[in-house]
Chain A
């Protein structure tokens, strides 16, 4: 028992505690990652198309050429309207500053108190990791958390 206690004491001395801003940044990053489309790289990224191969994919090169005369290429539309979401938002703030608009349509903060769940197992949690502020519910989950995610995810 005393051995475990002294071990903890040593750890406490070396412990780096994350400040509030870092915790928030980390939480925001976790939320942003939930918007991602893909978590792995393009599986075709390493492919290099030879010109020969390209012509194989076009079933009707003749027709294609004819169609191109009247229709614009996809490349045109890619360039013509190229705007990502933050750009659109910024533009909207100028063009459409009065509510109702995208920003004003966001629902309000909840009036109900937030509930807390263990980040490891998902059940109700009572405790908070002193280092990073992550929630856990039991000694077991705390150990798992410290071994895997605590401080390992910081930006």
Chain B
């Protein structure tokens, strides 16, 4: 993971589910859960961020999350997690001597922005701070890899929601940016709900079922066909739940071994249509009653809102980021559906980075070494003179 080298800039991609944190000189960030967790087995302590790795029994974990619906609302939790992360136990960052690249959600609220300014400059006392959005960093990274592309469409599917953000000449088209209120949290909760109703009560097992979703779910390329196939129940797979004595993370059995009968002490759930019906919500939120367009439809809509001369360029540079982009079949399905919706004469190219979770962080790390960083960031002195207005002028105009 991290290299020992310490550069002058610290990059923090502050997601609702995980923090992607590290010095700009590192090749990849540390991914730390952005949560405080309580376990029923260990009543003497709480687990901050990645301390949860020290917890033996991960059943019925109780989560305290700084973010609500994708926006920072519980400052005391966030402060505790940041204190821990910058502290000696974790990354040991001497914040007053460092610069910071930080990501915040799109259309962040004013009072949250003010709070962040105060924390960064008065509490952690960073030298220079550049605040941006994960999509901006993704676009920057994409530009490095594909300098010939003038436009870029970022599909950012995270824990709280999915954003479709168009960039023209490296600039975000703010009024065409769209949000779908479906993210990893909703998918996991929905999976928990249907499994609890159909098979086994797992409503309290957010942690276990999130792992189950990651291990089992895939995006179907032909939903109707897969659904008909699943009706025969021959394609069902067994998922072995962890018991936290011999097995720490559950796993899916091979098709041959999935016979629906647990061995000895195993506890299994059967995954049939749940495997692809759950991710399908991203493509048809109306399946569970959310009256919104799915990802491909939104992509087509967002591009149609952009200037006409940019549309063909946007279609041929679609970048997928965020944790949900790791689902098998995600890229192929988006390519297939967008191809059907896009005008015939346009090329459609959908790119999936090797690690969609840390891709935005990589962009931030690269940007930190760019001379433009100085121009974009707000220094502590600026802030001391002009307060939050200094940030408004730099970041939000």
- Measured between alpha carbons, how far is A111 from B43 in the docked complex, in Å? 51
Complex partner residue of A39 from B174, B175, B204, CB under 8 angstroms: B204
Given A81-B75, A109-B293, A43 contacting B179 (CB threshold 8 A): no
B residues 178-233 with Cβ under 8 Å of A? 178-181, 185-186, 189-190, 192-194, 197-198, 203-204, 206, 227, 230-231
CB pair B289 A30 closer than 8 Å: yes
A91 CB–B CB distance under 8 Å: yes
Decide: A74 and B79 in contact? CB cutoff 8 A: yes
* A contact residues, total (Cβ < 8 Å): 56
Contact status B286-A115, CB under 8 Å? yes
Interface pairs (22), CB distance under 8 Å: A27-B289, A34-B189, A42-B62, A44-B43, A44-B62, A72-B123, A74-B79, A77-B75, A77-B79, A82-B75, A102-B107, A105-B179, A107-B164, A107-B298, A110-B285, A110-B291, A110-B297, A114-B284, A117-B287, A120-B198, A122-B198, A123-B231
B192 contacts across to A, CB distance below 8 A: 39
Query: Could you tell me the distance in whole angstroms from the C-beta of A128 to the nearest C-beta in chain B?
Result: 14
The answer to whether B380 has its CB under 8 Å from any CB of chain A is no
Q: Is B290 an interface residue (CB 8 A)?
A: yes
Within the complex, what minimum Cβ distance (angstroms) separates B56 from chain A?
15
From known contacts A78-B76, A107-B292, A108-B293, infer whether A91 and B284 are also in contact, taking CB-CB under 8 Å.
Answer: no
Complex-state Cα separation, A96 to B346, whole angstroms: 37
Residue of A nearest to B294 (CB): A110
**Across the A-B interface, the 6 shortest Cβ-Cβ residue pairs:** A78-B76, A43-B40, A114-B286, A77-B75, A39-B203, A81-B115
Instruction: Return chain B residues, CB-CB under 8 Å to A72.
Output: 123
Q: Does A106 contact B (CB under 8 A)?
A: yes
Query: Are A122 and B65 touching (Cβ within 8 A)?
Result: no
Q: Given A81-B75, A109-B292, answer yes or no on A122-B109 (Cβ-Cβ < 8 Å).
A: no
Interface residues of A (CB under 8 A from B): 27, 30-31, 33-40, 42-44, 47, 57, 71-72, 74-75, 77-78, 80-85, 88, 91-92, 95-96, 99-102, 104-112, 114-115, 117, 120-124, 148-149
B71 and A81 form a contact (CB under 8 A): no
- Chain B residue numbers with a CB within 8 Å of A71 are 123
Q: How many A-B residue pairs have CB under 8 A?
A: 163
Q: Known interface pairs A38-B63, A122-B194. Does A105 touch B286 (Cβ–Cβ under 8 Å)?
A: no
With an 8 A cutoff between CB atoms, is B310 at the interface? no
Interface size range of chain B in the complex: 35 or more
Instruction: Check B60–A43 contact: CB distance below 8 A.
Output: yes
Give the CA-CA distance A109 to B292 in the complex, in Å. 4
Contacting pair A121 B294 (CB below 8 A): no
| Per-position binary interface string of chain B over residues 27-61, scored 1 when its CB falls under 8 Å from any chain A CB and 0 otherwise | 00000000000111001011000000000000010
Does B68 lie at the interface of the complex (its beta carbon under 8 Å from any beta carbon of A)? yes
Given known contacts A83-B73, A85-B73, A107-B298, A114 and B189 CB-to-CB distance under 8 angstroms = no
A42 to B46, CA, bound (A): 12
The reply to whether B287 and A105 contact each other, CB–CB distance below 8 Å, is no
A121 and B109 contacting across the interface, CB-CB below 8 Å: no
Interface contact B178-A106, CB-CB below 8 Å: yes
A42 nearest in chain B by CB position: B62
CB <8 Å contact, B284 and A107: no
Q: How far is the CA of A44 from the CA of B47 in the complex (A)?
A: 12
Taking a contact as CB atoms under 8 Å apart, the answer to whether B185 and A35 are in contact is yes
Determine if B286 and A110 form an interchain contact, defined as CB atoms under 8 angstroms apart: yes
